[in-house]
Amino acid sequence: MRAVHLAPPDAVDSRLAALEAGFDDALTTAMPASELARRLMWLDAKASQRPGSGSVHAIGDGLELDVIAHELRRGDEVIHLRPKEFGLLALLAANPGRAYSRRELLDRVWGPEHRGGMRTVDVHVRWLRSKIEPRPECPVHLLTVRGLGYRLDGPER
């Protein structure tokens, strides 16, 4: 999943903040559509050449998230995820051990125009924990980072 921030030409600070927040690129809305399309193709090609940028992420406890097939599996069983649950888990799984603030998660998964509150993230994390954690009330994979947000620890941690 690529995260590209689009902002008006005069919103330089917004684009720089997006890059600092971990977006793959930050572009101006004044860009021609053909250039935007080619830049997105370039980002995808660059990501596919990166070591470890595979489409399957090990979550732990035999769970695998396949971002190409859009499936979460435990062995042969497919675990149903709502679209935003999948987006949230895919972002966290692509960067195991990285802590994200609730604002970053909202911006990257729901989009910067989302008008819901931060509790939206908390609710989706609770739903995800019920599906991926052996004991959701005592998470070992999808962890709360006090005062910030959440991180997903990979199976090796």
According to the model, what pLDDT value does residue 121 have? 94
Span(s) in the chain for CATH 1.10.10.10: 56-152
- DSSP code, position 45: H
pLDDT at 10: 92
Please tell us whether the domain made up of 56-152 is placed in CATH 1.10.10.10. yes
**Where does the pLDDT of residue 68 fall: very low under 50, low under 70, confident under 90, or very high at 90 and above?**
confident
**Residue appearing with tokens 């030409």:** 9
Instruction: Look at phi and psi of residue 22 and say left if phi exceeds 0, alpha if psi is from -120 to 50, else beta.
Output: left
pLDDT above 70 for 1:
no
| One-letter-per-residue 3-state SS of 97-139 | CCCEEHHHHHHHHHCCCCCCCCHHHHHHHHHHHHHHCCCCCCC
CB 13 within 8 A of CB 5: no
Q: What is the mean pLDDT of residues 85-100?
A: 92
CA distance 119 to 109: 14
Does residue 52 carry a pLDDT above 90? no
**pTM of the full predicted structure?**
0.66
Binned at pLDDT 50, 70 and 90, residue 51 comes out as: very low
Contact 96, 59 (CB under 8 A): no
Q: How many CB atoms lie within 10 A of CB 75?
A: 8
Q: Are 131 and 141 in contact (CB under 8 A)?
A: no
